[in-house]
A and B are shown apart, each in its own frame.
Chain A
Amino acid sequence: MSSSADQSIRLFADRTRVYPKAVKGYFRRLKWLSLWLLLGVYYLAPWLRWDRGEGAPGQALLIDMPARKAYFFFIEIWAQEVYYLTGVLIIAAIALFFATAVAGRVWCGFACPQTVWTDLFMWVERKIEGDRAARMRRDQGPVTISRISKKLAKHVTWLLIALATGGAWVFYFNDAPTLLVELVLGRGSFTVYSFIFGFTASTYLMAGWAREQVCTYMCPYARFQGAMIDDDSLIVSYDTGRGEPRGAYRKGETWDGRGHCVSCRQCVVVCPTGIDIRDGQQLECIGCGLCADACDGVMEKLNLASGLVRFDTLSNLNAQARGETPHYKFFRPRTIVYSLILVIVGMAMLAALMLRSETSVSVLRDRNPLYVKLSDGSIRNGFTFKVLNMKRQQKSFDLSLSGIEGARMTVIGQAKKPVARVSLSVRPDQVGTYRVFVHAPAGSLPSESQSLRFVLVDRLLNITTTHQTTFRGPPAR
């Protein structure tokens, strides 16, 4: 590589530092709204209480890792139901595709944690160090006491926010009030402190230092967005037809023969990723609309209509350029298909949640030994019988057998004499595990493998469920 180049090739790109300027406007207000809403939910949600009765966690949102249970208000998910997470993730992904098809990267611009925390960090930076011009001047100027103290104040504030962020995360996995006391007293577990440290560090680095580089270089979503928008997606667009030819404007000049863009570069200086929206749709654009706010402010001062930079569709802009009336099309194949998938998956999830059984049974057959011959010639098989009781009340069941004539059973811990029907009880919110031995009388097995059904009757609700298994005996002679 180097042999061919006369001049030295720079192998590493310097980051072009972005100094976004403060801006006011409609999209900025939307961004503030979304920021306070999302941060509020994130920081406060673990503190919501929800009474689930005695012995159960009283936190509305809780993922209890050691107990393998997750709580979401009135919903309680056990480990075997973690597939609900798949449904949630499918809904999240399709909702993201849908939002992108409708309005470009609005997720990136308004709701993505990277954007929300970066926005917050930029606000802190602006409060301490001043706006764009002051910050640029200070960074290029000499190192002074004021510069050092301002930088220090900024980083300390960032670290505190980052600490609060990392700190809030662990409350979702532990009882928040208890954990807070433990944390303050330094009694938290190593795991908890590691997670707080990890999330504090990543928040500080990502929102304070990496910022737009996360979106440009790290985030895969930025890379495949092009496949999800089409000519009818509302994206942040510069109206070339109206803006060009651009040029500086002196007050009182005529607008004839020139475009409305006055080359004030306000759209560029407010951009959090440091791009020029007038170059068209580009990879770095996170669709936050701050350039539209900046431009509208300028247009207002010039007594021109707002919307030189606006959320619009490519086909509208093209239609406008051809002199046709723009026509916004919401219903397109992709928006329809995404909506349908959302509705179907949403209904399936809801149905699965409503219809899920609150007791579930698993029967595990002993495989070593497959069967045991007893002194009276009868054959015995062992089963591990697990009954999950997800209800907050004691359950009792009658267990009986069908499929083998004369089959009897014993349960470890109960009467030793084999009987046809046993009763099992399961404590609230627990898994009851029973060792069940099934005895088949000598001569009752026509073949090596017989089908056997466990019939379980919920005594309270009178619901009968059957569980198919096999009963093994000696090879037929």
Chain B
Amino acid sequence: MSTNIEKDEVTGTETTGHDWDGIKELNNPVPRWWVYILYATIIYSVVYWVLYPAWPTPDGGTKGVLGWTQHGELSVAMEEAKAAQAGFLARIAKTEVQAISSDGDLLNFALAGGRAAFGDNCAPCHGSGAQGFVGYPNLNDDHWLWGGTVEEIYTTIRYGIRARHGDTRESEMPAFGRDEILTKDEIGLVADHVLSFTGTGKSSAAAAELFADNCSACHGEKGEGDTDQGAPRLNDALWLYGGERATIVETVSKSRAGVMPAWESRLDDAAIKSLAVYVHSLGGGQ
């Protein structure tokens, strides 16, 4: 690209001196209005530097005379959001947990709040979709250890299970193997009897007797469970730790005692109620 600035014969204007395959560009001036806009943007930027945080300095940056910060804007927005929620939260705190679902607006607010609180507090163990993991119950299904009504769910969340709280849900299954209550063979028979409830194992009179003596007090004659004691149903298709014979043998031998914190000390009552309503709505609520 050569730089031969020359005068264009036709227009009398100088060229820029740039030459693209014989095409030359006239060095016509820029329109005034365009230049004014450029000046306006320059003035704007200077005003902006004065008013708002702009230039980095060794100790952070210029602050701007308005004192505006993104943090400040966020906290104002958060305050506004909190103020907007305050009315609903107060109503939820005043309402009995089982009565929330009868008020459509309150229900929607509680569901949305419950979903958010679930993601923040419950998802690490129960999964983001409340689908659970081995040892952590799936909250979508209709199998409840401590009861599936909204009040029972509320109590469970509030006081926890085997948590450090005076009102926590407490129960203990003996470790039949470790504590030498039953022999290995007997535990095998019990496992067979448990599996027979769902038709996947073969029981015997001896096994039935062992179950009746050691297990039925909590789990029921036919393995129907007892939500008052957190004793799971054994005659359905759902297993918290696994329904294979080996797993059941392990469970009976070593016992299981899952722990859930008491959320009373960490969340306020409205949040716990919202969580209970949300969990109850997932499809398995009774």
Contact = CB atoms under 8 A, between A and B. Distances in A.
A13 B238 contact: no
A373 B27 contact: no
B8 interface: no
B73 to A, nearest CB: 16
B14 A373 contact: no
Where chain B touches its partner, the secondary structure class is: loop
B144 to A, nearest CB: 9
A1 interface: yes
Which among A217, A367, A372, A437 has the highest number of chain B CB atoms within 10 Å?
A372
A375 B233 contact: yes
Contacts of B142: 374-375
B22 interface: no
Interface in B1-51: 5, 14, 16-17, 27-35
Instruction: Classify chain B: how many residues form its interface, as a range.
Output: 20 to 34
A10 B237 contact: no
A367 B129 CA distance: 8
Contacts of A213: 31, 33
Contacts of B29: 9-13
Given A13-B28, A375-B236, A412-B281, A217 B33 contact: yes
Contacts of B276: none
A373 B237 contact: yes
Given A372-B131, A374-B238, A4 B34 contact: no
Which among A210, A377, A442 has the highest number of chain B CB atoms within 10 Å?
A377
B138 interface: yes
Interface residues of A, number: 29
A167 interface: no
Nearest to B130: A369
B273 interface: no
A277 B32 CA distance: 25
Contacts of B32: 12-15
B141 interface: yes
A388 B172 CA distance: 52
A412 B283 CA distance: 8
A324 interface: no
Given A9-B14, A374-B237, A369 B131 contact: yes
A213 B284 CA distance: 69
Contacts of B129: 366-369
B158 interface: no
Which among A4, A11, A213, A369 has the highest number of chain B CB atoms within 10 Å?
A369
Contact of A12 (B14, B35, B128, B138): B35
A435 B140 CA distance: 14
Given A5-B14, A372-B131, A374-B237, A382 B5 contact: no
Contacts of B219: none
A14 B283 CA distance: 74
Contacts of A435: 281
Contacts of B128: 368
B30 A437 contact: no
A279 interface: no
Contacts of B233: 375
B237 A377 contact: yes
Given A1-B17, A4-B14, 9 more contacts: A1-B5, A4-B5, A12-B29, A12-B31, A12-B35, A15-B33, A368-B128, A369-B127, A372-B131
15 contacts: A1-B17, A4-B5, A5-B5, A5-B14, A9-B14, A12-B35, A13-B29, A15-B32, A367-B129, A372-B284, A373-B138, A374-B142, A375-B143, A380-B141, A380-B283
